[in-house]
Chain A
Amino acid sequence: MPVTDVTTDIDARTITITAEFAAPVERVWELYADPRQLEQVFGPPTYPATFVEHELTAGGTSKYYMTGPEGEKFGGMWDLTAVDQPRSFSFEDRFADAQTWQAADGMPVSRNTYAFEPSDGGTRATFTSVYESSDALQQVLDMGMEEGATESINQIDAFLAA
């Protein structure tokens, strides 16, 4: 399994995921820098992603939407706040209208840092996301719902069994 560690901080609404990929740092960076590659891995098969704009440079913006099973579109925007190619990039993620690209409201939904470092001939990637509120988290999950539903039921089941 490429995921080597998952740390969540409930109070800080933070999730940190560490993964090992069998490819050099530059290759992993390329995947993130190229919207055509990124959209192949970004959304689950039931919510494929389309990047209409993507610029992995400080001050750059990405615009993407995910298409749900019934054709509904969920738009999002990244504002790149720091980029240190090929080691890391940081961005604020917001919901936006998938046509006008008007941000849903002023607040970012999450602040994220993705970092890549060489490890054993491959890459150790650390993905950190800090969510602004539990509502923000909820909205993110609504976008990835299909995959999330099973997990949520397992959680409830485990809770009730405890």
Chain B
Amino acid sequence: MLSLMDEANEERADAMFHALSDRTRRDILRRVLAGEHSVSALAERYDMSFAAVQKHVAVLERAGLLTKRRSGRQQLASGDVEAVRSVSSMLAELEHIWRGRIDRIDTFLKEN
């Protein structure tokens, strides 16, 4: 029983890391974490076919990182994490960018 559980977790982790190993999928995930997007609106953002974007969305969905719902003819995708957490992770990203900038300032001031 325990080993079956482990196996399931391992598979979930594999699916997740596979999903996140691609830059376009990370970008799609970032967008849908910020708010629901139709798959066609997402597709417009990338220089690739609608079918290719749809495939990326499906990979994220299988990894449990994204959920889809239908609204009329549209497929709407959202990141599967509550909005607050997405702002929180965006702020964390921003912090990361700032840390990089501050390191550059620090180095620049020391060298000039």
Asked if residues A160 and B16 are in contact (CB atoms below 8 Å), the reply is yes
Task: Tell which of B26, B85, B112 touches A153, judged by Cβ atoms closer than 8 Å.
Answer: B26
A94 to chain B, nearest CB (A): 17
A150 to chain B, nearest CB (A): 8
The 5 closest A-B pairs by CB, nearest first: A151-B96, A148-B93, A41-B104, A155-B89, A8-B91
Interface residue? B87 (CB, 8 A) = yes
Cβ proximity bits B92-112 to A, threshold 8 Å, 1 near / 0 not: 111111111111111011101
A13 CA / B110 CA spacing, docked (Å): 32
Interface residue? A134 (CB, 8 A) = yes
Asked if residues A21 and B98 are in contact (CB atoms below 8 Å), the reply is no
A152 CA / B94 CA spacing, docked (Å): 10
Asked if residues A37 and B108 are in contact (CB atoms below 8 Å), the reply is yes
**List of B residues within 8 angstroms of A134 by Cβ:** 34-35, 83, 86-87, 90
B36 to chain A, nearest CB (A): 12
Q: Tell me what chain B mostly uses at the interface: helix, strand, loop, or mixed.
A: helix
Cβ proximity bits A127-143 to B, threshold 8 Å, 1 near / 0 not: 10100001101101100
A40 CA / B34 CA spacing, docked (Å): 30
Asked if residues A138 and B102 are in contact (CB atoms below 8 Å), the reply is no
A2/B106 contact (C-beta < 8 A), A15-B94, A127-B98, A145-B27 known: yes
Binding site for A on B (CB under 8 A): 16, 20, 23, 26-27, 29-31, 34-35, 65, 81, 83-106, 108-110, 112
Chain A contact residue count (CB 8 A cutoff) = 41
Asked if residues A17 and B90 are in contact (CB atoms below 8 Å), the reply is no
A10 CA / B85 CA spacing, docked (Å): 9
Name, among A22, A23, A148, the residue most crowded by chain B CB atoms within 10 Å (CB to CB).
A148
A29 CA / B112 CA spacing, docked (Å): 14
Asked if residues A147 and B100 are in contact (CB atoms below 8 Å), the reply is yes
Asked if residues A138 and B31 are in contact (CB atoms below 8 Å), the reply is yes
A102 CA / B26 CA spacing, docked (Å): 30
A134 CA / B89 CA spacing, docked (Å): 11
Asked if residues B95 and A13 are in contact (CB atoms below 8 Å), the reply is no
A-B contact pairs, 18 of them (CB 8 A): A2-B106, A8-B92, A15-B91, A15-B94, A15-B95, A17-B98, A19-B105, A21-B105, A22-B109, A23-B109, A44-B101, A134-B34, A134-B90, A137-B91, A138-B31, A149-B23, A152-B30, A156-B20
B52 to chain A, nearest CB (A): 18
Asked if residues B34 and A148 are in contact (CB atoms below 8 Å), the reply is no
A19 CA / B105 CA spacing, docked (Å): 10
A147/B26 contact (C-beta < 8 A), A42-B101, A153-B20 known: no
Name, among B30, B102, B110, the residue most crowded by chain A CB atoms within 10 Å (CB to CB).
B102
